[in-house]
Structure 1
């Protein structure tokens, strides 16, 4: 399984996953033309996308959904999120019950409930016939035991490491926004992400991508150092037991 993170952060999120000749997207949160451009840059034809899976319907995850209409790509999202998804042609809509699984040959896709201020947000784990497993956990205020159980034994983890709480507290954001970010239905802090990874990483060469970093309330080096420190406590060394990249 090959991963290309085409966009990450509050300005938009889009992930391409390839297995064999099949590519699917998770989220389409930047402009359609930018998705097309970045797909071509990594050698993927936009008209070859087999499906788009949406984590939730906030703009930085669905802005580029006109791509689906242009190339007749089915769009999968949990039932509740379709209350907020607009403009996707009816015959391309694929609602599912969160927690259910979907087959997109050669992918087997599991969905799991996350905790965000959206109607029905989910994360995904994707398996392929070659034995690859990639877990994608974006906007969520916390990581519960069911999420850990679904994601464990992956060889690729794409997880948000959104903010450093002290930076949020001293930021010039309104108090209502600070409260939202820090809430149990907001975003993961560096510490929360590091704690989740400490439960997931087994030291067998997993690839970790830290994503969805706040441009104002985090720093890439800080997110990476926090995760590495927690994994070091378990005896794991970077570039030996696991690999980590901040997007």
Structure 2
């Protein structure tokens, strides 16, 4: 039995992550068109019609753009908390009641051998939440779309074998960029997105002996670059006594191309 995953694509234009064991597979978010989602699945050699379900983090379009299309076309169950379901009304089209499931924030649901724990984050959505996946002693933690990482969040994701961690923006690039000040203020706020440096500082509180892989996710296309994010995170971690490349590895994610399927 194995726990594998691929960040199908991640960035300000769309987000989707695939998680599987030998018996079950789950999709977290579907932030691309139906055709784009099908193409991403083809790239990792998997089929959407084999999914056990789709887990939704929140109702922003870069996380649900293809949700309704996939759910209807492949008759897939969809899991979200009540407030997110309410916020998605009118955004994803009609979903048959038999396909709609409530996954409350701060609860655990099991899909075969995968135990999925949801936890709230701080973002300007109805009730945003992310997930940790537990299987055969392995743990995968997904956390993006949060303005900060609280002690509560850190306790839930601590010592994961693999992290998909928000590293959204470089603060200087954001401040000097073309966005209106209202948008900059929103991104920098406690309900916005985590910067490269703040992501790394949060990582220093959650990296454990089991941690082997950290994927830098949800990079802004206008206010960040892969090389800059990785350099900033690595320098901050090294300043706190952590050694990327020795204790664990840092990986990029891409807004269009999946990461290889890997064992947790």
TM-score, reference length from structure 1? 0.96
User: 2:169 aligned with 1:153, yes or no?
Assistant: no
- Cα deviation for residue 236 of structure 1 reads 2.6
Deviations 1:17-45 (CA, angstroms, capped at 9, x unpaired): 11113210111000111111211221211
Task: Tell me which residue corresponds to 1:131.
Answer: 137
Task: Tell me which residue corresponds to 2:236.
Answer: 230
CA contact (8 A) 1:40 1:46 kept: no
CA contact (8 A) 1:203 1:242 kept: no
Task: Tell me which residue corresponds to 2:36.
Answer: 34
Task: Tell me which residue corresponds to 2:108.
Answer: 101
Give the unaligned 5+ runs of structure 1.
none
Deviations 1:89-128 (CA, angstroms, capped at 9, x unpaired): 2221112321111111121000001000000000100111
CA contact (8 A) 2:138 2:160 kept: yes
Task: Tell me which residue corresponds to 1:184.
Answer: 190
Give the unaligned 5+ runs of structure 2.
254-264
- Cα deviation for residue 178 of structure 1 reads 0.8
Equivalent residue runs for 1:1-247 within 5 Å: 1-65=3-67, 66-85=69-88, 86-87=92-93, 88-128=95-135, 130-247=136-253
Q: Any idea what SS the aligned residue of 1:141 has?
A: coil
Q: Distance in 2 between matches of 1:27 and 1:119?
A: 16
- Cα deviation for residue 203 of structure 1 reads 4.8
Q: Any idea what SS the aligned residue of 1:172 has?
A: coil
- Cα deviation for residue 238 of structure 1 reads 2.1
Give the alignment's Cα RMSD to 1 decimal.
Answer: 1.3
Q: Distance in 2 between matches of 1:131 and 1:204?
A: 10
TM-score, reference length from structure 2? 0.90
Q: Distance in 2 between matches of 1:40 and 1:210?
A: 23
- Taking CA–CA contacts closer than 8 Å with sequence separation of 6 or more, which of the two structures ends up with the larger relative contact order? 2
